[in-house]
Structure 1
Amino acid sequence: MDYCVIKEGDVFYLTDKGGDIAAEHDGGYGLYTKDTRFLSRMEVYIDGEKPALLSSASDKSYFASIRTMKERKDEGAIELQRERFIYDGVLYERMTVTNYFPKAAACELAVSFDADFQDMFLVRKYRTGEVGRIIGRETGEQHASIRYEGADGMLRETVVQWDREAGRVEEDGTISFVLELEPKESVRICFAIMPLLAGQKAAVVLPFEEGLSRLEASYAAWDEETVSVTTDSELFNGLYRRGVQDLRMLMTDVGYGDTPVAGLPWFAVPFGRDSLITSLFMLPLRPEKVKGTLRTLAAYQGKARDKWRDEQPGKIMHEIRFGELVTTKQSPFSPYYGTVDSTPLFLALIGEYVRWTGDLTLAEELKPNMLRALEWIDRAVLAGAGFVTYHQEAEKGFPNQGWKDSSNSIVHASGEYAASPIALSEVQGYVYQAKKNLAPIFAAMGDATLAERLEREAQELQASFERDFWMEREGFYAIALDKEQRQVESVTSNPGHLLLSGLPERSRAEQVAARLLAADMFGGYGIRTMSTEAAGYYPMSYHNGSVWPHDNALILLGLSRLGFKREAGKVISGLLDASQHFEYQRLPELYCGHGAELGEPVPYPSTCSPQAWSAGTAVAFVQAMLGLDPNVPAGEIRINPMLPEGIGELTVERLRIGAGELSLKVTRLADGPDEVSVEVLGNTTGLTIVQSAVEE
């Protein structure tokens, strides 16, 4: 990555590798909360010059350390170490200045601050609009502030404090310290920067070490609360540790419990699809941690028909923003509902959650939301000639509304773009999975009539889908049906999601699994989004030939659930190989679809990292290696373990299922992914473990 980013709660901080936000920059650097940039400049100078970068480390998701220096050749240097984290809404940065000259030396450390309070959409040049103005600047001996009145009438303020008396505080936001240092002497100056909205009280600024200690304690508690996973592969262990730590960093509470935001730096807000899929991956971590996602999305469920936001009653949102353009209704993201898959995924996640926990209490709580979501699906099916379809209504919305939402992602074999309304293959799978899983839940809640109807509708959907989406010539499912109900015949990764839903009949599932791992789809570092033989294929595209880790993870869970162990092992191995080529072994949002013959994966030019559903991929690996499919209401836990190449032993402890915990150890016996033994280290779930069984 060419940037340094940290996040905690609803605040994140993005700078260049040297730790600065330059006055003239186009990288979107800044301190953000509520989709507003509260710090647009923070530059550090030593004796009027920018120090040279020595090192920049963000190997901890929540903490960054940067070393720079100003050198006088052959004589010595002044070194500056910058350490930073965010806690309780406050950005802490400690600057340690050390004299590495052989004699006493004096230097001036100057730090320049500014804030423009730009909306995130303006920073990204995604929208334009009318905005507010700076209404005041204030400076003192150990503090400065900048105040802004938005076009929405809301007051926003950035407050900067420091703990050492400054030699000079200028009106332009530059704070200078004259330091006289003996050889090897160090001086520390701590800054605290607070973004404040109208009516929000400033947090108590803690000593640097105390704030960091509290933050680290929260990460330690996260590790203690979640499942413990170790293997004999340091490659896997590193990926898993990074993924779990990033998931903790990406959690945000907008009032209804923690939910994973989509990713940094541009999508640090709750999403429908992204948060739901990430939460699906997180079930093995601790299933109750998905409650916040479900409650958040239920709270923002569509209530009316509003073309401006693509809102419809019962629909689950795509994305919510909180900046000035949204609050002044210059942007429809308040929230925006232009997604076709969030609603069935919401229902599918509830079903999977109950299978993991047996918790009908949450299902009862969300029953009104579930019923409204099912009604939305019913209306969408009627409008789509038997399938759930999408069509853009919002003028500033998205033309394509599945997970591949770029404008060129649904393309016929002829190269022609599909016309909407469009029925996506994977969306029908999500609907099928939702109805199959919810039928027994509604039966348990006393609504046998609805349960029977959902079961019947799922069977009818399966039959019509098999009839209309199967491409006999390709031996694969079409990515979609277009406006005229024509198959969009490109071979893509989308139908791979069907494996998890259980929709395909067995022989066709086998053909799908085989094609996904064929050379035109699997390049060595993962399954491509589009076949190299398709008309729209381009390895550096966003959706038409690139590799997305989360896409692979959804396919992987389906391969595991259906017992395709060799294919599952190949996917895990490919993504593991790719991970070692990325900074901090952090799987990015996506990378290019070039084959492994190039020696390493080719990075996508602009990608979010960390990305929540990419971070959750490592947890999906664990579930796939265990072949784990719990069904608490049925009183059983199915396991069908495998170990991919390079992993000889897997130990999983404190795996929360139902009212208890399960601990397992899987050991390789011979070559091949399914030549393993399983030892149950502990089982307090009260459930029966069924090994090496695949549900047909």
Structure 2
Amino acid sequence: MSAHTLVRGTTFLITGDAANATAGTEGFYLDDTRHLSHWEFSAGGAALRVLNESRDRHSTSTILTPATARHDDPGYTVFRDQALGAGTLVEHIRVRSHLAVPGTVTVSFRFAADFADQFELRGTGHYERPGKHSSITRAHGEVLLAYERADYRKWTVLRASAEPVVADGQIGWTLELPPHGEVSLRVEVLAGEGEPVPDPGAHPAVFADVVREAQADTEEFLAGVTVPAWPELRSAVEAGLADLANLRLPAPGRPDLRIPGAGVPWFLTLFGRDSLITSISALPYSPDLAAHTLRALAAVQGQVLDPARIEEPGKIVHEVRRGELSRFGQVPYGQYYGTVDATPLFLVLLGRHRRVAGNGVAIELEAAARAAVDWMFGHGGLAEHGYLVYHTDGPGLVHQCWKDSARSICFANGELATGPIAVSEAQGYAYEALVSTAELARDVWHDPAFADRLLARAARLRSDFETEFWLPGEDFVALALDGRRRRVDALASNAGHVLWSGILPAGRAQQVGHRLTEPAFFSGWGVRTLAAGQIPYHPVSYHNGGVWPHDTAIAVAGLARAGLTAEATYLAEGLLAAAARQPGNRLPEVMTGYARSEIPRPVRYPHSASPQAWAAAAPLLIATALGSSEEDSAWS
């Protein structure tokens, strides 16, 4: 059985066989921390045989029996149900006897809590963690597991509807089974930090109530949404909306705001770029999600110069973390600003939200928007370099664009680009940001002089971009300009983002659009991040050949904006075919670049996150771009 993920806000559970968490990165998580590293159910002192597993976005149901010989009938069946609440895992165990006489059966959960930070688990390095672990058995057989380091404290509580025997990392019960009868047991795992820890003696949550609450929350998010009629698109949109509902989490420092966390397992927090692109993609379906994202990002907008975090006044944050390693400065990502594109995307979303939902948020966030514009002209590089640029020698990420792996920005011959780097898509975002903000300045803030200044700079950026980024022998745009102003000539999917922004003149845009549909780019499932046939291309590469659903959806929107509707539909059909071949129509973070003509099913990238917000939102962007939603296009 493959791993399965349940997610509810900042809480998630990864399980493997028999709904247990026993290996690798499996476990129960909250806020970047693994609160259970081992969670394994058994009955009769042994593992059980799985008869059936039923999984949806709110719960997992598993049917198990003892592993008997071929012609021996099992004496009982176990029905195991799991669901998540905020900081809570609920287990409902039912044991049904198949015997005509009374009997007993022992059932147990083996547990362990390493309280590991997600950066440690994802393999980014070895880190010292000098904190103290403790395990206490409290009244009613409740177990309190804790980890403390200075004033940092994480805890996990195990409690049940019947008092267990606690011994050697295990809680267990002896159940009395009536003839052909059934006995049930409820177990709850609670996770948290600091104080207070829940007092012992409370009844564990009821599985049905937890599921009902999750379903009601999703239904509220989906209320009033109109989905497209195209069957494949409809299924993908419905799946994406359901995932987005569960990925919403309280914004850092603003629990009244719910924003899209970027994805499970390693990105379930506020990410500037991811949350913004997700909100743009979902804008016609949920303007409130966009408004919450804008307010949350404005609340943590850069205020000072802090080279350790790459913070600069007006800059929009890259990510906010709450784990141990961030807290103690062992990684720079507690509140990290290493992103060149989140700031213009903030302005783009603000302008697009105003077109859909009116002036309110644009008026509220005028100061934040003006600060973002100031950053683009100042520390962002527009005034000094003519483009938005980032440097490759700072703390944290080498590349501060959406392709943020170390080898992603490269020449066609494989040479790695060095900074300051101006990636193509960031210039497109900057162009759209200047145009959108000029519209706000003129129509909402009543500042025509500011609007004129922004439009003049947008026109200059558009002209300079065509001159310096165009690859005349390729009918394509360069991936970037490097620190020596050389065109980084690898043919990359970033060009789809360029089309999406409208920075290219119509003729150039159509040339680029046609190239994105060629076999070197289009795998049959989506657009490869790097066109096949180039030296650095690799089909099982995160950014140098893999296929990202959000990236393909942006290319679809870009083609549609360029007037290439047939070509946009062609790409969309491939991505929707990939979605139809995924469990629950859930698109993964990234797929490999293998051609559909070679392998008739999409192959996931080995470390692909799922669910992931901008992958979930990709079908929504496609629906809007192709006019399959009743709302107007957010990019019209």
TM-score by length of 1: 0.86
Partner of 1:486: 486
Conserved in 2, the CA contact under 8 Å of 1:424 and 1:481? yes
Q: Does 1:311 align with 2:308?
A: no
Partner of 1:583: 583
Conserved in 2, the CA contact under 8 Å of 1:273 and 1:318? yes
Match of 2:59 among 57, 63, 77: 63
Partner of 1:413: 412
Conserved in 2, the CA contact under 8 Å of 1:497 and 1:558? yes
Partner of 1:374: 373
Once the two structures are TM-superposed, the CA of residue 392 in structure 1 deviates from its matched residue by 3.1
Q: Distance in 2 between matches of 1:212 and 1:12?
A: 14
Conserved in 2, the CA contact under 8 Å of 1:412 and 1:488? yes
Conserved in 1, the CA contact under 8 Å of 2:302 and 2:313? yes
The DSSP-based 3-state class of the residue aligned with 2:259 is strand
Once the two structures are TM-superposed, the CA of residue 15 in structure 1 deviates from its matched residue by 1.9
Q: Does 1:195 align with 2:191?
A: yes
The DSSP-based 3-state class of the residue aligned with 1:434 is helix
Q: Distance in 1 between matches of 2:432 and 2:556?
A: 16
Q: Distance in 2 between matches of 1:293 and 1:258?
A: 8
Once the two structures are TM-superposed, the CA of residue 318 in structure 1 deviates from its matched residue by 1.2
Partner of 1:8: 8
Match of 2:163 among 138, 162, 165: 165
Q: Distance in 2 between matches of 1:370 and 1:621?
A: 28
State how 1:507-522 maps to structure 2 within 5 Å.
507-522=507-522
The DSSP-based 3-state class of the residue aligned with 2:335 is coil
Q: Does 1:148 align with 2:144?
A: no
Once the two structures are superposed, residues 222-268 of structure 1 have per-residue CA deviations (whole angstroms, 9 ceiling, x without a partner) of 2224x1214252x3332222111000010001243111111111111
The runs of at least 4 aligned residues of structure 1 exceeding 6 Å deviation read none
Partner of 1:601: 602
- The range that moved more, 6-15 or 472-481, is 6-15
Q: Residues 131 and 238 (structure 1 numbering): CA distance in 2 closer, same or farther, change over 3 Å? A: farther
Report the AA paired with residue 85 of structure 1.
A
Q: Distance in 1 between matches of 2:455 and 2:466?
A: 17
Once the two structures are TM-superposed, the CA of residue 161 in structure 1 deviates from its matched residue by 1.0
Once the two structures are TM-superposed, the CA of residue 192 in structure 1 deviates from its matched residue by 1.2
Once the two structures are TM-superposed, the CA of residue 101 in structure 1 deviates from its matched residue by 4.8
- The range that moved more, 273-282 or 317-326, is 317-326
Q: Does 1:118 align with 2:119?
A: no
Once the two structures are TM-superposed, the CA of residue 185 in structure 1 deviates from its matched residue by 2.4
Conserved in 1, the CA contact under 8 Å of 2:248 and 2:259? yes
Higher strand share: 1
The DSSP-based 3-state class of the residue aligned with 1:262 is coil
The DSSP-based 3-state class of the residue aligned with 1:559 is helix
Q: Distance in 2 between matches of 1:337 and 1:305?
A: 11
- The range that moved more, 542-551 or 99-108, is 99-108
Report the AA paired with residue 30 of structure 1.
G
Q: Distance in 1 between matches of 2:437 and 2:603?
A: 41
Partner of 1:108: 106
Q: Residues 403 and 232 (structure 1 numbering): CA distance in 2 closer, same or farther, change over 3 Å? A: closer
Q: Distance in 2 between matches of 1:382 and 1:624?
A: 30
The DSSP-based 3-state class of the residue aligned with 1:616 is helix
Partner of 1:44: 41
State how 1:219-368 maps to structure 2 within 5 Å.
219-225=218-224, 227-231=225-229, 233=231, 235-254=232-251, 255-256=253-254, 257-357=257-357, 359-368=358-367
Report the AA paired with residue 222 of structure 2.
D
The DSSP-based 3-state class of the residue aligned with 1:109 is strand
Once the two structures are TM-superposed, the CA of residue 207 in structure 1 deviates from its matched residue by 2.9
Conserved in 2, the CA contact under 8 Å of 1:490 and 1:535? no
Once the two structures are TM-superposed, the CA of residue 507 in structure 1 deviates from its matched residue by 0.6
State how 1:128-143 maps to structure 2 within 5 Å.
128-143=127-142
Partner of 1:625: 626
Conserved in 1, the CA contact under 8 Å of 2:58 and 2:211? no
Q: Which runs of 5+ in 1 are unaligned?
A: 627-649, 659-693
Conserved in 2, the CA contact under 8 Å of 1:246 and 1:610? yes
Once the two structures are TM-superposed, the CA of residue 117 in structure 1 deviates from its matched residue by 1.6
Once the two structures are superposed, residues 258-314 of structure 1 have per-residue CA deviations (whole angstroms, 9 ceiling, x without a partner) of 111111111111101111100011111121221111111111111222222122221
Once the two structures are TM-superposed, the CA of residue 148 in structure 1 deviates from its matched residue by 2.2
Q: Residues 184 and 265 (structure 1 numbering): CA distance in 2 closer, same or farther, change over 3 Å? A: farther
Q: Distance in 1 between matches of 2:414 and 2:188?
A: 54
Q: Residues 571 and 301 (structure 1 numbering): CA distance in 2 closer, same or farther, change over 3 Å? A: same
**Identity fraction in percent:** 35
Q: Residues 403 and 573 (structure 1 numbering): CA distance in 2 closer, same or farther, change over 3 Å? A: same
Partner of 1:453: 453
Conserved in 2, the CA contact under 8 Å of 1:139 and 1:169? no
Partner of 1:216: 215
Q: Distance in 2 between matches of 1:129 and 1:456?
A: 52
Q: Distance in 2 between matches of 1:383 and 1:100?
A: 78
Q: Distance in 2 between matches of 1:625 and 1:62?
A: 31
Once the two structures are TM-superposed, the CA of residue 552 in structure 1 deviates from its matched residue by 0.9
- The range that moved more, 601-610 or 182-191, is 182-191
Once the two structures are TM-superposed, the CA of residue 81 in structure 1 deviates from its matched residue by 2.0
Q: Residues 656 and 573 (structure 1 numbering): CA distance in 2 closer, same or farther, change over 3 Å? A: closer
Conserved in 2, the CA contact under 8 Å of 1:262 and 1:268? yes
Q: Does 1:29 align with 2:26?
A: yes
Q: Residues 56 and 394 (structure 1 numbering): CA distance in 2 closer, same or farther, change over 3 Å? A: farther
Q: Distance in 2 between matches of 1:403 and 1:384?
A: 23
Report the AA paired with residue 144 of structure 2.
S
Conserved in 2, the CA contact under 8 Å of 1:142 and 1:163? no
Q: Distance in 1 between matches of 2:99 and 2:604?
A: 41
Once the two structures are TM-superposed, the CA of residue 71 in structure 1 deviates from its matched residue by 3.0
The DSSP-based 3-state class of the residue aligned with 1:240 is helix
- The range that moved more, 295-304 or 274-283, is 295-304
Once the two structures are TM-superposed, the CA of residue 464 in structure 1 deviates from its matched residue by 0.5
Once the two structures are TM-superposed, the CA of residue 116 in structure 1 deviates from its matched residue by 1.9
State how 1:466-615 maps to structure 2 within 5 Å.
466-597=466-597, 598-615=599-616
Q: Distance in 2 between matches of 1:412 and 1:423?
A: 14
Q: Distance in 2 between matches of 1:100 and 1:394?
A: 65
The DSSP-based 3-state class of the residue aligned with 2:614 is helix
TM-score by length of 2: 0.94
- The range that moved more, 380-389 or 514-523, is 380-389
Once the two structures are TM-superposed, the CA of residue 406 in structure 1 deviates from its matched residue by 1.0
Q: Distance in 2 between matches of 1:183 and 1:429?
A: 71
Report the AA paired with residue 610 of structure 1.
P
Report the AA paired with residue 291 of structure 2.
K
The DSSP-based 3-state class of the residue aligned with 1:308 is coil
Conserved in 1, the CA contact under 8 Å of 2:81 and 2:207? no
Once the two structures are superposed, residues 633-668 of structure 1 have per-residue CA deviations (whole angstroms, 9 ceiling, x without a partner) of xxxxxxxxxxxxxxxxx6x56x5999xxxxxxxxxx
Partner of 2:401: 402
Partner of 1:465: 465
Q: Residues 418 and 394 (structure 1 numbering): CA distance in 2 closer, same or farther, change over 3 Å? A: closer
Q: Distance in 1 between matches of 2:607 and 2:51?
A: 25
C-alpha RMSD over aligned residues: 2.1
The DSSP-based 3-state class of the residue aligned with 1:283 is coil
Once the two structures are superposed, residues 424-477 of structure 1 have per-residue CA deviations (whole angstroms, 9 ceiling, x without a partner) of 011000000000011010112121111110000000000100100001000110
The DSSP-based 3-state class of the residue aligned with 1:567 is helix
Q: Distance in 2 between matches of 1:277 and 1:502?
A: 16
Provide the aligned length of Structure 1 versus Structure 2: 624
Match of 1:94 among 92, 102, 107: 92
Conserved in 1, the CA contact under 8 Å of 2:83 and 2:207? no
Conserved in 2, the CA contact under 8 Å of 1:260 and 1:270? yes
Q: Distance in 2 between matches of 1:569 and 1:9?
A: 33
